[in-house]
Amino acid sequence: MATTASKEVPDGPHGDHHSLRGIFFIMLGSFSFSTMFLLVKVMSQMNTFTLVFYRSVVQIAICLVDLYKKGVNPLGPDSGSVRFYLVLRAGFGAAAVIAWFYGIQNLPLPDAVTLQFTTPPFAAVFAVCLVGEHWKALDMIGAVVCLMGVALIAHPTWLFGNTDAVADAALVTDATDSSTMMKAVAVLVTEVGAAFAGIAYVCVRKIGERADAVVMVFYYGIISLPMTAVGSKMLLGTWNVLGDYEQFSLMDYFLLLLVGFAGYGGQWFTNLGLQQETAATVSSLCIVCVWLVSDYASNWVHFIISGHTCYLYADSLDFHF
């Protein structure tokens, strides 16, 4: 992979066309991220900063091995502008992941996923303003249709209500001002994470193919470590991001390892996709992750709706290898 010769290209390597290879990478990234989200939900008993810390440690280890085998400098090309955007991308990406993990752990999974994938409008606006990408009318329609698909597939409780009678009874019992405030905070934090993810996507577009995709993941891991420590101190009152590791079971360690591998795969494939595609297209197509993590994937009505959503959006694109 070229690391210095390639330049950033506002409208992608194929001009006004869309790269089928780039979209394939995006789909693989979505599958990896959906796996990670489900694992994070399973590990809700572990605090957000501890989860992000262990994910980062695993990703750093994978990156160092991969970069060593490739003979690539982990710091990336010797270019001040590229390294600036690598750090910027890592910082906003780490903040987005921390926000998303918090949302996943404190909101119903469909709600959290729906809020996370409001990233496309943010990414598109930032890309137009900062990179000079063109957001065509069909892209706008596609983004709106995809967001509608998110709501129909994920069925967030704040839009459709809770259809589970048992869950409703629990909500009535626990409906206190404190819990309502906590949910509002979780919604706000998750939405801020979506905006940060949009900025991170644009940073990858600015970098283009001047840095290896693995280098970007490595920077994320390195920047995440101090951010988790500082965040833990500010919000939890402790520098300890290791958690009660002496109490962890073998299954806990195994799940943490899987979170790291899934996070690495999601970032690596998404970075490859962003080097091939526009930020608006990438962020919109990442919405396929909603279908993968939603309980409603087993419902044929929602499956058909999601299929039509994908068809309408794909029909607006002109694919090239």
The kind and range of the H/E element at 271 are helix 250-276
Rg (CA), the chain: 19
Structure tokens belonging to residue 84: 């600036």
Contact 109, 292 (CB under 8 A): no
Per-residue confidence (pLDDT) for residue 298, from 0 to 100: 43
Coil/strand/helix, residue 16: coil
SS (H, E, C) 166-189: HHHHHHHHCCCHHHHHHHHHHHHH
Whole-number pLDDT of residue 276? 67
Q: Specify the pLDDT at position 109.
A: 75
> Number of helices (H) and strands (E), helices first, in the chain?
14, 2
| Side-chain-facing half-sphere of 54: CA atoms under 13 Å | 25
User: Which pairs count as long-range contacts for 219-222, CB under 8 Å and 24+ apart, including other chains?
Assistant: 219/76, 219/86, 219/87, 219/89, 219/90, 220/56, 220/59, 220/89, 220/90, 220/93, 220/94, 220/267, 221/56, 221/57, 221/59, 221/60, 221/63, 222/56, 222/60, 222/90
Residue 295: predicted pLDDT: 47
Rounded Cα distance between 68 and 320, Å, is 33
The CA distance from 264 to 138, in Å, is 32
What distance in Å separates the CA atoms of residue 308 and residue 8, rounded to the nearest whole number?
33
Identify the pLDDT of residue 227. 93
Q: Is 135:282 a contact under the CB 8 Å cutoff? A: no
Per-residue pLDDT of the chain (321 residues; tens, 9 = 90+): 444 444 444 444 444 445 567 677 777 887 888 788 888 888 888 888 999 999 999 999 999 999 999 999 999 888 778 999 999 999 999 999 899 888 888 888 777 777 777 777 777 778 777 777 676 776 677 667 666 655 665 556 656 665 554 444 444 444 455 677 787 788 889 889 988 988 988 888 888 888 888 999 999 999 999 999 999 998 888 999 998 888 888 999 999 999 999 989 888 887 787 766 555 555 555 555 554 544 444 443 444 344 444 444 444 444 333
Which pLDDT does position 2 carry in this prediction? 41
pLDDT at position 50 is 92
Q: What is the pLDDT of residue 25?
A: 79
Q: What phi and psi values does residue 267 have, to the nearest 5 degrees?
A: -70, -45
* Residue-level pLDDT at 297: 40
Return the SS3 of 240. Answer: coil
| Burial annotation 214-239 (CB, 10 A radius, 16+ → b, else e) | bbbbbbbbbbbbebbbebbeeeeeee
Could you identify the residue written with the tokens 């979170």?
259
**At residue 164, what are phi and psi to the nearest 5 degrees?**
-90, 115
Q: Indicate whether this model's pTM tops 0.75.
A: no
DSSP state of 287: T
Which pLDDT value is given to residue 169?
Answer: 46
